[in-house]
Structure 1
Amino acid sequence: MASVSGAATATDQGPVRESNQDAALVEGILFAVSDGFGPGGEHASRIALEVLAAGFAAAPDRSGLIGAVREANDQVFAHVSASGTSSGATLTAVAMFGDAEGGPMVINIGDSPLNRIRDGVMRQLTDDHSVSGELVRTGEITREEARYHPHRHLLTRALGIGPYIRPDLFDLDCRPGDRLLISSDGLFAGAEDAEIAAAAAADAEPQTAAQRLVQVANDAGGSDNTTVIVIDIG
């Protein structure tokens, strides 16, 4: 049975952006990052995680998590519609259910990646729901080319851009010794994968690793907000 032995989060506006539109949630077995976009992005991400937390607290199981994500979209979409802005938010959530509940689960929409570090190797477990992400999956561009693609920020799926959503949902493959990173895409905006993996190395405590990761993103230009949750599996 996989369980959490330690977790920490860190966030930073970065030197370029005028506000921090990211939000993070660490509550019991639920871990989530939401990255807002558009004029009301900071409100969209905050609403998304508040609704997610409340919905999951009321029904802390798999169906409850799915329902909470759908309710988060409803509330973000209502806010966006009322404000008349072109805004929304990504959402990537990990619920560390026990074996009796089917094991750990991931649900995500947008391009806030979940990465796993195992035996020193970092691997992205989620798909980016973006134009550049789709091009990577079809083999038209490489992952490295996607980092600088002119449409890398154009999302194909997100909370708040319509009344219906199609999030990805999958069982999380994790085992003792793994380290998980949930982050906003700002972590990867300028820093190389090798730099990120080194900053997140397992020899550092989760809080130290989280702070290192934010610093790596800022040192690489900090063109976006950066938020990260570091989760150790014991």
Structure 2
Amino acid sequence: MARVLAAATATDQGPVRVSNQDAVLVEGVLYAIADGFGVVGDQASRLALDTLRAGFVAAPDRDGLLAAVRRANERVCAHVTSDGSSSGCTLTAVAMFDDEQGGPMVVNIGDSPLYRIRDGRMEQLTADHSVAGELVQAGEITREDARFHPQRHLLTRALGIGPVIRVDVADLDCRPGDRLLISSDGLFAAADESAIADAASAPEPETAVRQLIEVANNAGGSDNTSVIVIDLG
């Protein structure tokens, strides 16, 4: 069974955006990033993770996590509806449950990706719920094409855009020596994937998260960037 040896987080507004609409959560075995969009996107992402945390603390198991995600959507949806804005947020949450609780799992909606770095290879474990992401999944464009697609930021699924949501839920194939990377899509807005992979492979998680922010900002920093790096042993 893989367990968490070390983890680090970082979030940065970047040189272009006037505010940071990302939010990051670490709560026990739970690690999550929410990326807000729209006028009150910063409020949506923070509300989502505050709700997720409260629900998970009350019921720190698989069912509790899924219930907390649904509750987060309800609260974000109610908030943005009362505000009258077209806002919401993505959510990617990794729970490092032990074998007795069913093992590690990921829940995601939107386009904040989860990657696994194993034996020097970085592999995306989640699907991007965006127009460009769905074209990649359909085999119509490549991942490189998706980075520059005119509708790459147009989400097809997110928290807050309706009372009923469809999230992806998956068990995680983890083993000692793996590194997990959760990020907002700002990390991939302009930076080359090889530069991201190099930064993500730094010896310590604290160094990796700092370098990942630098890579994103040096590539233009057109969006907020948030990252969580988790080492497993």
TM-score (normalizing by structure 2) = 0.99
C-alpha separation between the residues in 1 aligned to 2:147 and 2:186? 11
Counterpart in 2 of 1:194? 194
Partner of 2:227: 228
CA distance in 1 between partners of 2:180 and 2:91 (Å): 16
Structure 1 partner of 2:119? 119
Name the CA distance, whole Å, in 2 between partners of 1:208 and 1:16.
24
Identity, % of aligned positions: 72
Q: Which runs of 5+ in 2 are unaligned?
A: none
Map of 1:73 onto structure 2: 73
> Secondary structure of the residue that 1:152 maps to in structure 2?
coil
Partner residue of 1:165?
165
Q: Which amino acid aligns with 1:107?
A: V
Which amino acid is the alignment partner of residue 95 of structure 1? A
Deviations 1:184-227 (A, max 9, x none): 000011111111110011x4211110010000000011010000
> 1:4: Cα distance to partner?
0.3
**Residues 1:204 and 2:199 aligned together:** no
Q: Which residue number in structure 2 is paired with residue 99 of structure 1? A: 99
- Could you tell me which residue of structure 2 aligns to residue 23 of structure 1? 23
Q: Which residue identity is paired with 1:222?
A: G
CA distance in 1, matches of 2:122, 2:192: 12
Structure 1 residue 88: Cα displacement: 0.2
SS in 1 for 2:150: coil
The amino acid across from 2:129 in the alignment is H
The alignment partner of 1:117 has SS state of strand
| Separation (CA, whole Å) in 2 of partners of 1:118 and 1:230 | 13
Q: Secondary structure at the match of 2:174?
A: coil
| Count of residue pairs the alignment pairs up | 233
The aligned amino acid for 2:21 is: Q
Unaligned runs of 5+ in 1: none
Deviation of the 1:2 alpha carbon: 1.1
SS at 2:166 equivalent: coil
2:86 maps to a residue whose letter is S
Could you tell me which amino acid in structure 1 is paired with residue 156 of structure 2?
T
1:143 corresponds to 2:143: yes
Question: Does 1:64 pair with 2:70?
Answer: no
TM-score of the pair, normalised by structure 1: 0.99
